């Protein structure tokens, strides 16, 4: 058998054995191989009808009554509770709203405030005054770095960019908080959330994790690993739609000390009391700010229905099989030396994407898209391919590898 026929045959066998294969029917897709779900997830079929109902009936007919009768007011916590099991959190610790950038700001400033409070209850050991340094992932998605810089200026801290691997050596009794990414947006490298969180706690500091590239793709285990605060977006592996609201996790025992830098009226203990003085609501509600963006939020809620009956463990198993198979196809189809994988080979270090360094990557991605394979390009020389196990199949993967080989030959 030729190599092409062999890999196509293998793809067919893998697709036939794929327990998640039928979930593809829950998404609006065409014959394009869509490997950009790590940027914008595909549209779940149930969303348009639900949004239509929200607009026409809830807004159009019920109007203001929908804040109560249609559950608009409580949507941020309700949808947070729907996301919670996907990131290993018990209910009551996540609120949905705002962008990831805004939630990074809330979480990081709140973490520094907790560290400065000297109570020591959160991380368990010796937190106190004199902590004046924030560590930030030097390889982070830019927005986290910009926001961390501003948070540092506001709180009188210095900001120290370090790679995640350097974090244990950089921690000291000056460290207030550490902002890290679970999966690197460029390389797809999965960082050691349990180990790094434990190291941060050992130093008496607080760990804030950005889950944008891991939530919905692999188990996170927020509660199990004692993460303090976490944020993430919902438009990638959670398929919430363009600009769908992000979320904020505040560990239950830290909630009484969560002092939001954006204490809007929605997080007030008595929002309709219209009081001049601020009294924070109890629980995860403290992470809210202003009026929730209901249309996006309820589109997200409908999108999350595709997860009913799906375990994140099964998604992870398929994700690893997809990325393994893609690397196998690339090795078989792409001429030697034309691409270099930036994504770790070890499963323990791999998220749900494969990043290939390639000369003239922008042009190569354009050709791929013209030929029905959609990934994305990250400056200056990276081809990114995201694998969403809910709707990407092994046949897609074989085709993507084959087309990449043709483009690069
Ligand atoms: C890791 C990471 N953090 C933060 C962001 C920014 O999110 P937002 O635009 O929702 O603020 C992104 C966007 O892709 C991201 O990948």
- Tell me the pLDDT tens digit for each residue of 111-157: 999 998 443 434 444 345 689 999 999 999 999 999 999 999 999 99
In DSSP notation, 202-253 reads HTT-EEEEE-TTTTTTS---TTTTT--EEEE-SSSTT---TT---EEEE-GG
- Give residue 1's pLDDT: 59
Q: Is residue 41 part of a domain?
A: no
The verdict on 241 and 317 lying in the same domain is no
Is residue 241 within 8 Å of 43, Cβ to Cβ? yes
**Cα 376 to ligand 1 centroid, rounded to whole Å:** 15
15 is catalytic: no
Q: Which of 101, 140, 146, 386 to mutate to test the pocket of ligand 1 (most atoms within 8 A of CB)?
A: 101
The last residue of one of the domains, among 253, 279, 307, is: 307
Tokens linked to 71: 């559950």
Whether residue 38 has its Cβ less than 6 Å from ligand 1: no
Choose the catalytic residue: 131, 384, 399, 402: 384
Q: Is residue 79 part of a domain?
A: yes
Q: Which of 140, 143, 231 to mutate to test the pocket of ligand 1 (most atoms within 8 A of CB)?
A: 143
The verdict on 240 and 183 lying in the same domain is yes
The verdict on 232 and 264 lying in the same domain is yes
Whole-angstrom CA distances from 139 to 90, 126, 191, 209, 348 are: 30, 29, 12, 14, 19
Condensed to tens digits (0 to 9), the pLDDT of residues 31-85 reads 999 999 999 999 999 999 999 999 999 999 999 999 999 999 999 999 999 999 9
Q: Is residue 48 part of a domain?
A: no
Q: Which of 217, 233, 379 to mutate to test the pocket of ligand 1 (most atoms within 8 A of CB)?
A: 233
The verdict on 70 and 133 lying in the same domain is yes
The last residue of one of the domains, among 258, 279, 307, is: 307
- Counting the structural domains of the chain, the total is 2
Name the stretches of the chain with pLDDT < 50. 117-127
The verdict on 201 and 295 lying in the same domain is yes
- Give residue 117's pLDDT: 47
Q: How many CB atoms lie within 10 A of CB 39?
A: 17
Whether residue 100 has its Cβ less than 6 Å from ligand 1: yes
- Give residue 253's pLDDT: 98
The verdict on 385 and 293 lying in the same domain is no
The verdict on 226 and 374 lying in the same domain is no
Q: Is residue 39 part of a domain?
A: no
235 is catalytic: yes
Q: Is residue 44 part of a domain?
A: no
CA-wise closest residue to 358 among 377, 344, 332: 377
Question: Which residues on neighbouring strands pair with residue 202, listed in sequence order?
Answer: none
The last residue of one of the domains, among 307, 329, 347, is: 307
Q: Is residue 222 part of a domain?
A: yes
- Give residue 2's pLDDT: 82
391 is catalytic: no
- Give residue 125's pLDDT: 40
The verdict on 185 and 249 lying in the same domain is yes
Q: Is residue 46 part of a domain?
A: no
Whether residue 212 has its Cβ less than 6 Å from ligand 1: yes
Whether residue 101 has its Cβ less than 6 Å from ligand 1: yes
- Give residue 380's pLDDT: 94
The verdict on 179 and 57 lying in the same domain is yes
- Give residue 49's pLDDT: 98
The verdict on 261 and 127 lying in the same domain is yes
**Cα 83 to ligand 1 centroid, rounded to whole Å:** 17
> What CATH number is given to the structural domain containing 318?
3.90.1150.10
d(CA 53, CA 37): 26
Whether residue 214 has its Cβ less than 6 Å from ligand 1: no
Domain containing 394: what range?
Answer: 2-30+311-408
Whether residue 248 has its Cβ less than 6 Å from ligand 1: no
Q: Is residue 47 part of a domain?
A: no
Atom of ligand 1 at shortest distance to CA of 243?
10
- Give residue 126's pLDDT: 39
The verdict on 231 and 355 lying in the same domain is no
> What CATH number is given to the structural domain containing 164?
3.40.640.10
384 is catalytic: yes
| SS3 call for 67 | helix
Whole-angstrom CA distances from 274 to 76, 77, 277, 283, 316 are: 20, 21, 9, 20, 46
- Give residue 129's pLDDT: 64
- Indicate the pTM of the whole model: 0.96
The verdict on 331 and 200 lying in the same domain is no
236 is catalytic: yes
């Amino acid at each position: 058998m030729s190599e092409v026929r062999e890999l196509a045959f293998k793809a067919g066998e893998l697709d036939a054995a794929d327990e998640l294969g039928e979930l593809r029917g829950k998404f609006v897709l065409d014959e394009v191989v869509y490997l950009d779900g790590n940027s914008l997830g595909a549209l779940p079929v149930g969303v348009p009808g639900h949004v239509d109902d929200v607009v026409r009936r809830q807004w159009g007919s019920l109007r203001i009554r929908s804040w109560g009768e249609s559950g608009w007011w409580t949507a941020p916590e309700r949808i947070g509770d729907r996301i919670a099991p996907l990131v290993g959190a018990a209910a009551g610790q996540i609120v949905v709203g705002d962008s990831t950038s805004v939630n990074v700001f809330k979480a990081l400033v709140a973490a520094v405030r907790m560290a400065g409070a000297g109570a020591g209850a959160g991380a368990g050991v010796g937190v106190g005054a004199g902590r004046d340094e924030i560590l930030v992932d030097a390889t982070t998605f830019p927005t986290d770095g910009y926001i961390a810089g501003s948070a540092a200026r506001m709180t009188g801290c210095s900001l120290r960019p370090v790679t995640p691997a350097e974090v244990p050596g950089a921690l000291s009794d000056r460290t207030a908080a550490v902002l890290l990414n679970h999966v690197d947006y460029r390389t797809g490298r999965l960082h050691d959330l349990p180990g790094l969180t434990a190291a941060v706690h050992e130093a008496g500091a607080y760990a804030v994790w950005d889950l944008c590239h891991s939530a919905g793709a692999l188990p996170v285990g927020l509660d199990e690993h004692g993460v303090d605060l976490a944020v993430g977006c919902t438009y990638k592996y959670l398929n919430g739609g363009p600009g769908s609201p992000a979320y904020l996790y505040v560990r239950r025992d830290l909630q009484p000390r969560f002092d939001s830098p954006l204490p809007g009226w929605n997080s007030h203990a008595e929002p309709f009391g219209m009081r001049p003085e601020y009294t924070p609501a109890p629980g995860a509600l403290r992470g809210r700010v202003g009026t929730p963006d209901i249309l996006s939020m309820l589109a997200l809620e409908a999108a999350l229905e595709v997860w009913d009956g799906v375990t994140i463990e099964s998604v992870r198993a398929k994700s690893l099989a997809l990325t393994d198979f893609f690397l196998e196809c690339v090795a078989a189809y792409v001429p030697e030396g034309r691409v270099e994988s930036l994504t770790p080979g070890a499963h323990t270090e791999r998220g749900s994407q494969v990043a290939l360094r390639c000369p003239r990557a922008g042009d190569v991605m354009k050709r791929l898209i013209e030929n029905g394979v959609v990934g994305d390009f990250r400056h200056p020389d990276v081809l990114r391919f995201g694998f969403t196990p809910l709707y990407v199949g092994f046949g897609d993967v074989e085709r993507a590898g084959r087309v990449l080989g043709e483009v690069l030959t």
